[in-house]
Structure 1
Amino acid sequence: MTLIFAMLLDAALGEPRWLWDRVPHPAVLMGRAVGWCDKRLNRGTARRGRGIITMMLLGLCAMALGGLLEEFGPLVEILVVAMLLAQRSLVDHVAAVGNALRLSLGDARLAVAQIVGRDTAAMQPSDVARGAIESAAENLSDGVIAPAFWFLIGGLPGLLLYKITNTADSMIGYRTEKYLEFGWAAARFDDLLNLIPARLTALLIVVTHAIWSDWPAIRAEAPRHRSPNAGWPEAAMARALGVALSGPRTYHGVLTDFPYVNETGRKDIGAPEIDATCRALWRVWAGALGLAILLSFVFH
């Protein structure tokens, strides 16, 4: 029941500005912990070993904190889980891109830059919409389904372990000269923890949109993604919306020609497709909530 109430609370309130303007969000605190380790340990030799030790320490501390918080009872559990779910905030950020695109391309570029890591200065309307939809699909897995999954598996220790790993991956899990070795453990552990949730997210998209016949194509296209996991929700979302995703994009001034997912889908897309994405996010959330209710009845 804890997860059910937490999902409802997150959906209702999202990220209340009045609270997080006054105190740091848990994700911010996790980011500071990762940054502290990066600053002090990402130096000298044996950086891969230092990165492994970093992830072990962060993971153990996160699990210990989760165990401590569980001692305060179900109300605290509900509040912590709700804080670490991102359904409402995800929908709000994606919807903001669609609303900005209706105003001007410049506004849309600024809005989508808040949720994607690629270059946005030269994006056209279809590129903006594609970026927003891809971010929505990936973050549906990382920010909603995966945290819920690991809470069901391991309680607050499991949830906090997942969140600190995902935070570390987003900060140091890059294949750059600075992080190739030090961030190796964060990236690999994040891949492992997202292995099941990413595929579960794709399955929930398929079930809630009744596109069973597209499952073989989704399975075939998912591995084309540069991430071993993100391709699953992205391929499923592309089929659910009937659009082409992935494809060429620019990072740090360099054009990268990624293959399209659902290449025969619509490529001339815009605000209406972003609106459809927001509806899809809520439909999948409702499916996940229904699954949580079902599991609650089965195991209690």
Structure 2
Amino acid sequence: MLGEPPTRWHPVVWMGRYLGRTGRWIAPRIDVAQPARSGPFAAGALAWCAGAAAVVLAAAALTAAATRLPSWVAALLLGLALKPLLAWRMLRDEVLAVEAALARSLAEGRTRLTHLVSRDVRALDEGAVRESAIESLAENLNDSVVAPLFWFLLLGLPGAALYRFANTADAMWGYRGERQGRAWDWAGKWAARADDVLSWLPARITAFLLTLSCSLSRMRERVGVRVLRSLPREARRTPSPNSGWPMAAMALLLGVRLGKPGVYVLNAAGREPTAADTRHAAALGARVVWMMGALAALAFVLQATWPGA
């Protein structure tokens, strides 16, 4: 309902600025002699740990300050601090904006897609643009909603902040090969592996919640059973150990083919997605957001009722 706070107050923007500045220090330029692998890897790991420590300490200090306030004030403060670490509304709006741009022209759709993905979009046809948008919605449903809430439930505000830092670091550093004139194979490896570890369980929860939301909406249990049977096989087709799970779930539930040219194809027997599929994907994502919110609220109620639970 609130959307994103102004850029100057957005903690994820602050994380991105830190990562952007230190990234120029840890990743060697491709036009100079490349150092040994250990140097960029150690620099990347050290910069990641320093940034993560600062984020966790800031979140822990805010939590400690909140505990000294009346409970309703503390709840409001922590809720406002957590909100910028979740980004469903912006994600949904950007995906639907790609669809709206495609309705005007392929060129506009490609341009709008660059707000969501870093891949080269110049050669994508209409179907490939739509596939990329739906994939981005599914993957970021985990990264921007489910995973931060999962770690908030386990470790409080420091857990959610740590995850968002790790996910942002992976997005900015976790590249294979060259990007913007710098070599990231080893400089970004720590960031990529940290995100893999922290996203492992939430990504699978996201896929399950997507399947459950579709099954409940159609009142057809067989849909969910069929998807769950095929999901592990399809999810393994992507290079990532995690992003394939929500993306494969979305492809199977919509009955469409999703893929990245030259890298992978999910649900290869599916049809090409249409504009209606984009809207359906956004609706499924919204249901997952409400389900995850309800589960989180229930967990807090249980914890308050039985503190030892």
| TM-score normalised according to structure 1 size | 0.87
SS of alignment partner, residue 260 of structure 1: strand
TM alignment of 1:140-151, pairs within 5 A:
140-151=141-152
After superposition, the Cα gap between the structure-2 partners of 1:127 and 1:186, relative to the gap in structure 1 and judged at 3 Å, is same
Q: Does 1:53 align with 2:54?
A: no
Match of 1:14 in 2: 3
SS of alignment partner, residue 194 of structure 1: helix
SS of alignment partner, residue 203 of structure 1: helix
**1:24 Cα deviation (Å)?**
4.5
Distance in 2 between residues matched to 1:150 and 1:208, nearest whole Å: 22
Distance in 2 between residues matched to 1:197 and 1:145, nearest whole Å: 6
Equivalent residue letter for 2:41: R
Distance in 2 between residues matched to 1:288 and 1:42, nearest whole Å: 37
**Structure 2 contact 55–158 (Cα < 8 Å) conserved:** yes
Equivalent residue letter for 1:127: A
After superposition, the Cα gap between the structure-2 partners of 1:247 and 1:157, relative to the gap in structure 1 and judged at 3 Å, is closer
Q: Alignment partner for residue 205 of structure 1, among 196, 199, 210? A: 210
**1:149 Cα deviation (Å)?**
0.7
Once the two structures are aligned, what percentage of the paired residues are identical? 38
SS of alignment partner, residue 263 of structure 2: strand
**Structure 2 contact 132–260 (Cα < 8 Å) conserved:** no
Equivalent residue letter for 1:39: R
TM alignment of 1:108-257, pairs within 5 A:
108-176=109-177, 178-210=183-215, 211-248=224-261, 257=262
**Structure 2 contact 167–195 (Cα < 8 Å) conserved:** yes
TM alignment of 1:22-37, pairs within 5 A:
23-37=8-22
**1:39 Cα deviation (Å)?**
2.7
Q: Does 1:260 align with 2:265?
A: yes
Distance in 1 between residues matched to 2:279 and 2:76, nearest whole Å: 34
Distance in 2 between residues matched to 1:292 and 1:28, nearest whole Å: 25
CA deviations 1:161-200 (Å, max 9, x no partner) are: 1111111111111112511111111010010000011001
**1:298 Cα deviation (Å)?**
2.3
Q: Alignment partner for residue 68 of structure 1, among 61, 65, 68? A: 61
Distance in 2 between residues matched to 1:265 and 1:295, nearest whole Å: 37
Match of 1:8 in 2: none
**1:40 Cα deviation (Å)?**
3.2
Match of 2:221 in 1: none
SS of alignment partner, residue 170 of structure 1: helix
Distance in 2 between residues matched to 1:278 and 1:174, nearest whole Å: 28
**1:229 Cα deviation (Å)?**
0.3
Match of 1:90 in 2: 91
Match of 1:9 in 2: none
**1:260 Cα deviation (Å)?**
1.8
| TM-score normalised according to structure 2 size | 0.85
Distance in 1 between residues matched to 2:26 and 2:121, nearest whole Å: 33
Q: How many aligned positions are there?
A: 276
SS of alignment partner, residue 13 of structure 1: coil
Match of 1:297 in 2: 301
Q: Does 1:277 align with 2:294?
A: no
Equivalent residue letter for 1:140: L
Distance in 2 between residues matched to 1:53 and 1:259, nearest whole Å: 33
Flag structure 1 segments of 5+ consecutive residues without an equivalent.
1-11, 249-256
SS of alignment partner, residue 234 of structure 2: helix
**Structure 2 contact 176–185 (Cα < 8 Å) conserved:** yes
After superposition, the Cα gap between the structure-2 partners of 1:100 and 1:187, relative to the gap in structure 1 and judged at 3 Å, is same
Distance in 2 between residues matched to 1:79 and 1:115, nearest whole Å: 25
Distance in 2 between residues matched to 1:169 and 1:226, nearest whole Å: 14
- Compute the RMSD of aligned alpha carbons: 1.6
Greater Rg over alpha carbons, structure: 2
SS of alignment partner, residue 89 of structure 2: helix
**Structure 1 contact 223–231 (Cα < 8 Å) conserved:** yes
**1:247 Cα deviation (Å)?**
4.6
Equivalent residue letter for 2:144: G
